Structure 1
Amino acid sequence: MRLDHVRRLSGPNVYLSRPVAIARLDLQGLTGHETTDHPGFAERLVEALAGLRTHHCSAGRPGGLLDAMARGTYFGHVTEHVTLELSGLIGREVFFGRTVRAGGPAEYDVILECPRDEPSGSPVVEQLITLALRVVNGALAGRVPDPSADLAPIAAAHEEERLGVSTSALARAARRRGVPVRRVGGLNLLRLGYGRYRRTVWAAMTDGTSAIGMEVAGDKRLAHRLLADAGVPVPEGRVAASPAEALDVLHEIGGPVVVKPLAGHQGENVHIELATAPEVVAAFASAAGEEGEVLVESYIPGRDYRVLVVGGRVVAAAELTAACVTGDGTATIAELVARVNADPARGEGHDRPLTRLALGATELALLARQGHGPRSVPGGGERVWLRRNANLSTGGTSRDVTDGVHAEVADLCVRAAATVGMDVCGIDLRLPDIGSPPPADRGAAGILEVNAAPGLRMHLAPHEGTGRDVAGDIIGLMYPAGTPSRVPVVSVTGTNGKTTTVRMIAHMLELDGRRTGMTSTEGVYVGRQLVHVSDASGPRSAEMVLGDRSVEAAVLETARGGIVRRGLGYDRADVAVVTNITRDHLGVDGTEALEDLVDIKALVAEEIRRGGHLVLNAEDPAAAGLAGRPTVQGRSPVLRYFAIAAGAPVLVEHLRDGGLGYYVQHGWLTEARGDRRTRILPADEVAGSFGGHAVHVVANALAAAAAARALDVPVDVVARALRTFDPHLRNPGRGCVYQVGANPVLVDYAHNPAAVAAMGAFVGRRWGTGGAGGVAAVTLPGDRSDELVGETARALAGTFGRVVVYEDEDLRGRRSGEMTRLIVQGLREGRPDVRAHPAGDLKGALASALDIAEPGEPVLLLYEKLQPVVELLETLGAEPGTPEPGAAASGVEAGGRSSSTVTDSSASTTIPSSQ
């Protein structure tokens, strides 16, 4: 077997609501082989990886995989399970896997769950799959493979890139509260929330943490001064710039003393309970660092405590014990250290609840002071200290004492955090007992340090006592009860009409006073300003909008390609809109039938919040059918159907059951619920509908109205938005008419059979063409199948008797001239008398079409990239087309008509009055 490639879907996807990796395998010589074709294979594999015995597989019980291999299963499936087992062995706990056929008979896709916050560029999953293939191939070759040596560096890479304990806890706490979470790159930096409610947190440092407070906490000299000035007890001491000055401080305040760096952290180079001149001089050399200065302060006897203050409240406290081992009378200190380090809770750095013990220079020096070395054998019960400072980062342990903190001690810690100006602050203090009031004697108690971005692991998983949800306290500080973390999100998908519908909804929300972020095939917009030019209908663009702190609502065009290749860029939209699902992109990304497209686009309907709104086209069976999928019903959506005709069966039944519907009745766009009808505006006043002739635009308006009303946009605002939706300003490249000399040129992006048929019907109604009337200059995307290109060309031939065919600059893998041949062939299959005129490029095609057309006859121009079309029309002196028949002036209601609410139990089938 061979690994061809791996791709990741970072957001909710068609397989799982969590990230997955998809590995394309080429089975090569194992094509068609099953496990039963290779005697002894399963036994050798399970001997190598005993954990495979417990894999459930499709049986839903332990041993399911063993049964499958005994019956005979393909090797892609076996590789899936081996990868999952290897992942678990390195502490990368994921459980979902699936193997499906892909492409030829030898190709399989193995879909594997990935940890939510694993960096998108992580090599770990590919390394695991590669190792899984070696294990499987080894078992096939008659060996019992041992993957341990190869697994070790993968485990190290996983430990290096995974979120730290504190950040991971914050991510879990946020998700428990429904707050969206995105990790930024491979950092311990999280982006929380959407739009105006977006916040960031880096470990336990929030975006509300004071920069001045951070500086104060990092400067021990300044922190002590501010605390002392506020009457908070701190150790007596001062800064020393030389060993001689350090000795002067020792003599002034008397021993013992503590020598520490001015800006140290995690207990590094802190030397405790020093009483002699040689000890202080040696400590100065260790702690001075590049600054050449240290803080020398009095040693306060007692117990070490860490108190966590969040938002002016003590949320946790722990008693800390410095790194040590306890003798048993037989083991050496080195052996005792190894025994302690075997605890899986201990790891390097901050990746685990506890840090491994070390036997470095600092530890060896302290052992020597106690009369020990690494080979010493302490007596039974004898405690041997490896460190004097009680930091978890140097191997210390913690015991939760939160419930025993005396009120006066809590008040002292809260005052200290307020003095330095920290919203989240770790207070290190020493005193005889945290459960008693601080002693009045000077030097009997004191705050040693205030810590910015304090580690949380001592409170989350103390060595002794109850763990505290301190991550939840920090998230609660950032998002107090009742505070939203999300802006309204509308996601729009479908085959045709997505871009127009998205732009209409965004226009409605902007007129309702909401600063709106919008993604579409032309780019990313924030507050009507184009901020990023691209085909922005995928997850990266969605993340761009949702990460903008000025955005109050988001409207996202969600295309098939982005869903298939990267997943969704959001979770739990408030409103999902499915305009229609027709034949397009078949043969691309493994889609072979309409049902495949339905499965892909269904994700938008499935990924809405519980009780969210789902807007479906009642006249499109594929779109309307999404409401019956169990995964959609599980969200308990509020269904809002739209249809041109009030008599659409799905809509009629829905209204009969008291549901919400949007349709055209007696020439009006109408909102209905039960027997209540609310008129929105006349269909012939929808801007861009050309007096109602462009029925597809009216349908888009109904879908947009349904979505906007789901977000409580008033009816009169919806009506005003639809009247002022000038396609040249609001919807460029979609149904825009330009006057070029004596001919109107209709510019549109139609590129599949349904869209082309809709444009043909519109041209026929609006300009009275038909048969051989009208001229079209067309190109079609080269990444569509030959069958689909032919079907689209035949749809063109149904309306246009003269067609100029040109090829786009981007051939999308086609040979030069191939698309022209396919389109011309399809045109003539649709109607033998069609006049096809091949042209080399866009400019030549439009010139030929205008030459062919009679004065006043419309020319339809289909394109792939809008900007070259705009530039060409400018050179031709094109002007936006004449006012639409029957349309009212911008923002003014025609004939004094207004939106109104009436009671009407009829369900008559109507269409726009102009049709």
Structure 2
Amino acid sequence: MKIESLRRLRGPNVYLSRPAVVARVDLGELAGEETTDVTGFTERLLRAVPGLAEHHCAAGVPGGFVSRLRNGTYFGHVSEHVCIELSQLIGRDISFGRTVAADRPGVYDVIIECPVDESPESSVPGELLEAAIGLVLEVHSGSGPSARTLAERLSGLAELAEREATGPSTRSIIAAARLRGIPVERFDDLSLVRLGWGHRRRLAWAAMTDRTSAVGVDIAGDKHVTRRLLDEAGIPVAPGGVAATAGDAVRLLGELGAPVVVKPRHGRQGHLVALHLDTADAVERAWAAIGGEVVVERHLAGRDYRVLVVSGEVVAAAERVAAHVVGDGRATIAELVGRVNADPRRGAGHSRVLTRIVLDEAVEEVLRRTGHTPESVPEEGRVVRLRDAANLSTGGTSRDVTDQVHPDVTRLCRRVAALVGLDIAGIDLRLPDIAAPVPPTGEQATAGVIEVNAVPGLRMHLAPVHGRARDVGDAIVRAMFPGGSDGRIPAVAITGTNGKTTVTRLTAHLLSGSGMRVGMTSTDGVSIDGRIIQVADATGPRSAQMVLGDPQVEVAVLETARGGLLRRGLGYDWSDVGVITNITADHLGQDGLDSIEDLAHVKAVVAERVRDGGTLVLNADDPWVRSLAGRPRVRADRKRLIWFGLDAGNPVLGEHLARGGAAYVLHDGWLVQATGARRTPLMRLAEVPGAYGGAALHVAADTLAAIAAARALGARPENLADRLAEFDPSVENPGRGTLFRVGDVSVFVDYAHNPAALAATLRTLHRLWGAERCVAAVTLPGDRREDLLAASAQVLADGLTRVVLYEDEDRQGRPAGEVVALIEREMRARRPQLTAVRADGYRSAVAAALRLAGPGEVVLVIYEKWEPMRAHLAELGAVPGGGAPVLSGVTSLSSRAAGAVPHVTRELTGLPARG
């Protein structure tokens, strides 16, 4: 049994609304074998991992999984549950898993939930599943791992998860943002997070924001400059100076008087800080340990306090207590430290709310001063101090004193943060009592500010050892997003089988006319404010994140395709508007999709992730789209449902409007907004750009969907017609029904690649030219299932008598000529008298089709890639055809647009509607 591949679903997906990993697992020699085939397997597994007894599985109650084990289940399913339990045992809280058969016998997809803020690049899920598979194999072959072996494995996995996890400060900010509905995206495995979208997005890196002053950070990072700046402003600080040599440091000891503090000028987290120094030798040793510029200050008596200031307000205060142990009269200091470090709240570095105590030279020096060693046994109740500095990073603890802070201290700390120029500042004070006024400054200062910290740690406030925890992460988020803002911008997601790119481009065009800067993803790339910034198939989550993370964007329009959704999940958590254009047969046989019902299940994710109170725009003419409104996870009752369609008499529309609902329909040659009994004409169908006087009815459907989406986001109806009229399909929607002229022949270029799209395109050409005047140069993608290629070929045969066939440059792994041969065979079976020509590549195909076409006729060109085809047509001297085809002795455009020629209508009656 082994893992073949592992992919991360970074957002909501077809399995659940949270991130997950999908591992393809080959059961190998265990294929077809069940747990009941292995004597004693279940008992051995439960001895090794007792927590499995509580797993519900499909039964929905504890013990459900044990029942499955005893009744027989496959080992991929067993590995899934073991992985979940191991995750729980290392403190990684997940509960969802599913195992489904893949496309080959003995191969399964194991889907396991991931923590929502785990890095998308994390290695933990893969390591956990490897460990789970290893454990299952051991149990299968023998007794399984010993308790000690399993504990060692879990310890290693826990350390890995801890290294990759965010620290407490970042976690608190993320949690506070999510609680307020603010979108959060973590950058790799760093503590850098993006909060919000578009022009409302903010950045945070631990307790530092994108508004934190770089000057303020530099000032706080230089302890000498900080002390001088505050001193000159009348802030009480410890007298002191900077020393570049040991001699300078000893001189300052003499001037200031003992005891003194020696610390690095640019140090952090209490590293190498030496306190209570009262001899020249001690000062020299401290200087030598640092090995550079140091700050020497008079040691102020009193207690150590940290006050957190956020946007000019004191939000928390804590008394810090240096690392220490309390004797019991029996244990050594080293043993007492071991007991303290056993506290699960303690960890290495800053990953947990407390840090483990390390018995290093600094601790031994403190112990020597008090006559102790690590092997000393302190008497019962005796407090033994292990560090001079009270930093949490060296094992210290904290006590919350927020409610005790004297107003004088509050005013002082607010001034200090403002003087240094920090939006978030941790101010360290040495005071007799934080509840009392601050003693005045002067040469004999006995209290005051000892440091100012940029990017202060929040652990001491989030989880003090004593006193009330303070939600300082929320205070930071409230400062970043004042007034209750959720940091979101309007977002519309568009999916479907056909027309989604056109609807996306039209929606973006309409919204940009409202004065908003639009970020758009589509099949052809990413654009920001009308400018292409990336040329690619940009319909997946990475492209969506590119738009949502851009600080220029005020509204996002996201084409969302099946492939990206299945392979990586959605690139957002919720949208304001979801549009489903239609659902027809395409891409079946790929990514585990075997039927249109499977395809509808995938497209439904876009509908499910429309927020409560948002708008769902659905095609009333499409039965599969109609069915989505009734899905429990769609929860249409919590959304505003808007239908669009070409059939004004559709009973779904009638019932919806009778209830006072809204719809966008084609009625008496007009695009109409309907609300209840009210009808508002928006634009004549004959004037819709790209509809060719009304011949391209599928363009009318796309336009209605785009209008519905734009209106849902605030586009004004009185501006729609003018804005639509400004849409130039040849520029803003190239390659989708784009008309050219080459001499006296029209060339109609489209991206139709499935039966429904091809049928809609042929209907358009038949209405304009008649079936007898159409020639086609066609390619179909090799990654389509053979029955879909056959269905497309049959549609072509119903609509054409002359066709040139050529292959995509990327044959998707098929042998040369296979797709062309299949299409030709199916077309001839449907229409024996067909004239079919094979060509080598798109250049030869276009040339051959032009030779077959006569004056006034049209050549339909179905292409693989737009840019090479556009360049080739330019080489041929093709000029834009606009909205008027080249006609020669045939019925006028207006009469053909009004209705198809009778024999064409009969010929295409059985073709699927595009919707």
TM-score category by the smaller chain?
over 0.9
Please say if residues 504 and 721 of structure 1, whose CA atoms lie closer than 8 Å, have aligned partners that are also in contact.
Answer: no
Q: CA deviation at 1:324?
A: 0.5
Whichever residue aligns with residue 250 of structure 1, its letter is L
Within 5 Å, which residues of 2 pair with 1:31-70?
31-70=31-70
Query: What does residue 205 of structure 1 align with?
Result: 208
Q: CA deviation at 1:695?
A: 0.1
1:365 equivalent in alignment to 2:365 = yes
Query: What does residue 221 of structure 1 align with?
Result: 224
d(CA) in 2 for partners of 1:24, 1:671: 48
Alignment deviations for residues 103-156 of structure 1 (CA, whole Å, 9 cap, x no partner): 123111110001222222222211111111111111111213233333333322
- Which shows bigger deviation, 142-151 or 609-618? 142-151
Query: What does residue 295 of structure 1 align with?
Result: 295
Query: What does residue 186 of structure 1 align with?
Result: 189
d(CA) in 2 for partners of 1:117, 1:826: 51
Change (3 A) 1:635 1:362: farther
1:267 equivalent in alignment to 2:290 = no
d(CA) in 2 for partners of 1:31, 1:172: 42
Change (3 A) 1:597 1:639: same
1:449 equivalent in alignment to 2:469 = no
Query: What does residue 903 of structure 2 align with?
Result: none
Q: CA deviation at 1:635?
A: 7.0
Query: What does residue 84 of structure 1 align with?
Result: 84
1:335 equivalent in alignment to 2:335 = yes
Q: CA deviation at 1:856?
A: 1.0
Q: Does the residue aligned with 1:798 lie in a helix, a strand or coil?
A: helix
Query: What does residue 464 of structure 1 align with?
Result: 466
Please say if residues 2 and 26 of structure 2, whose CA atoms lie closer than 8 Å, have aligned partners that are also in contact.
Answer: yes
d(CA) in 2 for partners of 1:402, 1:244: 42
Change (3 A) 1:634 1:677: closer
Q: Does the residue aligned with 2:242 lie in a helix, a strand or coil?
A: strand
d(CA) in 1 for partners of 2:638, 2:264: 59
Please say if residues 773 and 799 of structure 1, whose CA atoms lie closer than 8 Å, have aligned partners that are also in contact.
Answer: no
Q: CA deviation at 1:29?
A: 2.6
d(CA) in 1 for partners of 2:636, 2:859: 48
Whichever residue aligns with residue 428 of structure 1, its letter is D
Equivalent pairs, count: 882
Please say if residues 327 and 383 of structure 1, whose CA atoms lie closer than 8 Å, have aligned partners that are also in contact.
Answer: yes
Please say if residues 27 and 106 of structure 1, whose CA atoms lie closer than 8 Å, have aligned partners that are also in contact.
Answer: yes
d(CA) in 1 for partners of 2:829, 2:578: 39
- Which shows bigger deviation, 431-440 or 562-571? 431-440
d(CA) in 2 for partners of 1:814, 1:121: 33
Q: Does the residue aligned with 2:633 lie in a helix, a strand or coil?
A: helix
Alignment deviations for residues 273-294 of structure 1 (CA, whole Å, 9 cap, x no partner): 111121111111123x3xx211
1:158 equivalent in alignment to 2:164 = no
Please say if residues 773 and 801 of structure 1, whose CA atoms lie closer than 8 Å, have aligned partners that are also in contact.
Answer: no
Q: Does the residue aligned with 1:73 lie in a helix, a strand or coil?
A: coil
1:248 equivalent in alignment to 2:251 = yes
The equivalent position to 1:572 in structure 2, one of 559, 574, 581, is 574
Please say if residues 45 and 139 of structure 1, whose CA atoms lie closer than 8 Å, have aligned partners that are also in contact.
Answer: yes
d(CA) in 2 for partners of 1:22, 1:323: 44
Whichever residue aligns with residue 626 of structure 2, its letter is A
- Which shows bigger deviation, 115-124 or 650-659? 115-124
Q: CA deviation at 1:484?
A: 4.6
1:759 equivalent in alignment to 2:761 = yes
d(CA) in 2 for partners of 1:60, 1:592: 29
Query: What does residue 525 of structure 2 align with?
Result: 523
Please say if residues 400 and 467 of structure 1, whose CA atoms lie closer than 8 Å, have aligned partners that are also in contact.
Answer: yes
Q: Does the residue aligned with 1:629 lie in a helix, a strand or coil?
A: coil
d(CA) in 1 for partners of 2:60, 2:240: 66
Whichever residue aligns with residue 823 of structure 1, its letter is I
Within 5 Å, which residues of 2 pair with 1:250-649?
250-287=253-290, 289=291, 292-440=292-440, 442-633=444-635, 636-649=638-651
Whichever residue aligns with residue 680 of structure 1, its letter is L
Query: What does residue 112 of structure 1 align with?
Result: 112
Q: CA deviation at 1:36?
A: 1.8
Within 5 Å, which residues of 2 pair with 1:686-697?
686-697=688-699
d(CA) in 2 for partners of 1:470, 1:649: 55
Alignment deviations for residues 166-224 of structure 1 (CA, whole Å, 9 cap, x no partner): 11111111111111111111111001111111110000000000010001000011111
Q: CA deviation at 1:453?
A: 0.4
Q: CA deviation at 1:317?
A: 0.4
d(CA) in 1 for partners of 2:637, 2:193: 27
d(CA) in 1 for partners of 2:669, 2:43: 73
Query: What does residue 900 of structure 1 align with?
Result: none
d(CA) in 1 for partners of 2:144, 2:257: 67
Whichever residue aligns with residue 55 of structure 2, its letter is H
d(CA) in 2 for partners of 1:517, 1:245: 60
Q: Does the residue aligned with 1:631 lie in a helix, a strand or coil?
A: coil
Query: What does residue 907 of structure 1 align with?
Result: none
Q: CA deviation at 1:21?
A: 0.5
Query: What does residue 890 of structure 2 align with?
Result: none
d(CA) in 2 for partners of 1:30, 1:848: 56
Q: Does the residue aligned with 2:483 lie in a helix, a strand or coil?
A: coil
d(CA) in 1 for partners of 2:871, 2:61: 64
1:232 equivalent in alignment to 2:231 = no
Q: Does the residue aligned with 2:4 lie in a helix, a strand or coil?
A: strand
Please say if residues 503 and 731 of structure 1, whose CA atoms lie closer than 8 Å, have aligned partners that are also in contact.
Answer: yes
- Which shows bigger deviation, 72-81 or 229-238? 72-81
d(CA) in 2 for partners of 1:718, 1:17: 35
Q: Does the residue aligned with 1:306 lie in a helix, a strand or coil?
A: strand
The equivalent position to 2:719 in structure 1, one of 701, 717, 720, is 717
Q: Does the residue aligned with 2:276 lie in a helix, a strand or coil?
A: strand
d(CA) in 2 for partners of 1:248, 1:212: 31
Alignment deviations for residues 766-800 of structure 1 (CA, whole Å, 9 cap, x no partner): 12x12x43101000011000110010111111111
- Which shows bigger deviation, 168-177 or 746-755? 168-177
Please say if residues 183 and 190 of structure 1, whose CA atoms lie closer than 8 Å, have aligned partners that are also in contact.
Answer: yes
Please say if residues 750 and 863 of structure 2, whose CA atoms lie closer than 8 Å, have aligned partners that are also in contact.
Answer: yes
Please say if residues 615 and 712 of structure 2, whose CA atoms lie closer than 8 Å, have aligned partners that are also in contact.
Answer: yes
Alignment deviations for residues 674-703 of structure 1 (CA, whole Å, 9 cap, x no partner): 111111111111000001110000000000
Whichever residue aligns with residue 272 of structure 2, its letter is N
Q: CA deviation at 1:39?
A: 2.1
d(CA) in 1 for partners of 2:714, 2:726: 20
Change (3 A) 1:243 1:635: farther
Q: Which runs of 5+ in 1 are unaligned?
A: 887-893, 895-915
Change (3 A) 1:279 1:82: same
Q: TM-score, normalised by structure 2?
A: 0.95
Q: Which runs of 5+ in 2 are unaligned?
A: 887-893, 895-915
d(CA) in 1 for partners of 2:540, 2:830: 35
Query: What does residue 897 of structure 2 align with?
Result: none
Query: What does residue 672 of structure 2 align with?
Result: 670
Within 5 Å, which residues of 2 pair with 1:4-19?
4-19=4-19
d(CA) in 2 for partners of 1:738, 1:317: 72
Q: CA deviation at 1:339?
A: 0.4
d(CA) in 2 for partners of 1:232, 1:552: 44
d(CA) in 1 for partners of 2:806, 2:790: 15
Please say if residues 609 and 635 of structure 1, whose CA atoms lie closer than 8 Å, have aligned partners that are also in contact.
Answer: no
Query: What does residue 824 of structure 2 align with?
Result: 824
- Root-mean-square deviation (CA, aligned residues, Å) is 1.4
Q: TM-score, normalised by structure 1?
A: 0.95
Alignment deviations for residues 805-847 of structure 1 (CA, whole Å, 9 cap, x no partner): 0011111111100011011112123322221111111011011
Query: What does residue 842 of structure 1 align with?
Result: 842
Alignment deviations for residues 475-523 of structure 1 (CA, whole Å, 9 cap, x no partner): 1111002435111111000000001000000100111111111111111
Whichever residue aligns with residue 569 of structure 2, its letter is G
d(CA) in 2 for partners of 1:90, 1:107: 28
Whichever residue aligns with residue 764 of structure 2, its letter is F
Whichever residue aligns with residue 245 of structure 2, its letter is S
Whichever residue aligns with residue 373 of structure 2, its letter is G
Please say if residues 120 and 185 of structure 1, whose CA atoms lie closer than 8 Å, have aligned partners that are also in contact.
Answer: yes
Q: Does the residue aligned with 1:632 lie in a helix, a strand or coil?
A: coil
Please say if residues 582 and 625 of structure 2, whose CA atoms lie closer than 8 Å, have aligned partners that are also in contact.
Answer: yes
